[in-house]
């Protein structure tokens, strides 16, 4: 990518903003002071990039999105905090991405290759990984962590300080109030864990052994009479050679909010035979 930035004559770009090569700023877009936009990024008509925002390369900010907005936090007093956006993200119409707060470390960080669909919201101090999909209207409260490859369904909301693990799947219209471990699927008006994210596991070519181990992990952690510590100890002793399983175990050990509960209908649980299908 080469060439000077292409700025539409109706756009407003602050003199202190730094634009990389090949950046496109569309009609009526606004780019404020203390903004850094990497090479090849496109900002469409009427989008707003607020101050104290760093944007990487080859992102596409669609019309009417707001990137780097001030935190919706009553403790915020206008201090200098930042939003950092990685490379090759797609931010669709009316999405809102807010910068951090002093109490949360001063930065909201979003990785690369993410899709934030229309009307999604990433609140202050969130740490969002890469290759994540936030479906239409999905909302992350403040201080939320979302790990790589997770999918958050449309019109879902994640409570402040919650943690969504890698390759986890949150169904549409779901309220997530606690942590959702990696590779698990949750849905319901209040998030209930239904078992492993089998579609996601198969998409990445997970082995039958890995899928079977995660199904057993679901049963031991949410369905058995073992204490959580006993369940994790048993899983570690049996499957320490399976990285996905150990990531699941380590996530639970580190959980601060506790885990989303399981759905109560045992007939819908993960069956033993399915582990070999």
Instruction: Please identify every residue annotated as catalytic.
Output: 124-125, 142
Q: What are phi and psi for residue 96, nearest 5 degrees?
A: -130, 120
Identify which of 50, 97, 100 has the alpha carbon closest to the alpha carbon of residue 79. Answer: 100
Cα distances from 202 to residues 162, 182, 183, 198, 199, in angstroms, run 26, 15, 11, 6, 5
Question: With the C-alpha atoms ordered 148, 151, 154, 160, is the resulting torsion angle positive or negative?
Answer: negative
- In DSSP terms, 164 is beta-bridged to 146, 180
Q: What are phi and psi for residue 76, nearest 5 degrees?
A: -70, 130
Tokens coding 138: 């999905």
Asked if residues 110 and 85 have their Cβ atoms less than 8 Å apart, the reply is yes
Which helix H or strand E contains 196, and what residues bound it? strand 192-196
Calpha distance 145→161 (Å, rounded): 7
């Amino acid at each position: 990518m080469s060439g000077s930035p292409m700025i539409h004559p109706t756009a407003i770009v602050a003199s202190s903003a730094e634009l990389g090569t090949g950046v496109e700023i569309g009609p009526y877009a606004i780019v404020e002071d203390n903004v850094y936009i990497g090479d090849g990024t496109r900002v469409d008509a009427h989008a707003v990039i607020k101050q104290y925002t760093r944007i990487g390369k080859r992102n596409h900010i669609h019309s009417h999105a707001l990137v780097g907005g001030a935190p919706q936090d009553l403790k915020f007093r206008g201090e200098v905090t930042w939003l950092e956006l990685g490379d090759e993200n797609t931010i669709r119409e009316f999405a809102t991405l807010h910068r951090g707060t002093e109490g949360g470390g001063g930065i909201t960080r979003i990785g690369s290759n993410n899709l934030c669909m229309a009307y999604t919201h990433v609140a202050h101090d969130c740490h969002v990984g890469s290759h994540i999909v936030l479906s239409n209207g999905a909302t992350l409260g403040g201080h939320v962590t979302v790990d790589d490859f997770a999918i958050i369904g449309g019109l879902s909301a994640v409570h402040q300080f919650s943690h969504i693990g890698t390759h986890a799947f949150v169904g549409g219209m779901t309220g997530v109030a606690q942590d959702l471990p990696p590779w698990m699927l949750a849905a319901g008006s209040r998030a209930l864990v239904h078992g492993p994210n089998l579609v996601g596991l198969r998409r990445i070519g997970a082995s039958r052994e890995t899928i079977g181990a995660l199904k057993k992990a679901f049963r031991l952690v949410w369905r058995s009479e073992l204490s959580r510590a006993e369940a994790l100890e048993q899983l570690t002793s049996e499957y320490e050679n399976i990285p996905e399983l150990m990531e699941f175990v380590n996530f639970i050990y580190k959980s601060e909010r506790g885990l989303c509960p399981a759905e109560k209908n045992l007939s819908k649980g993960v069956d033993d035979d399915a582990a070999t299908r």
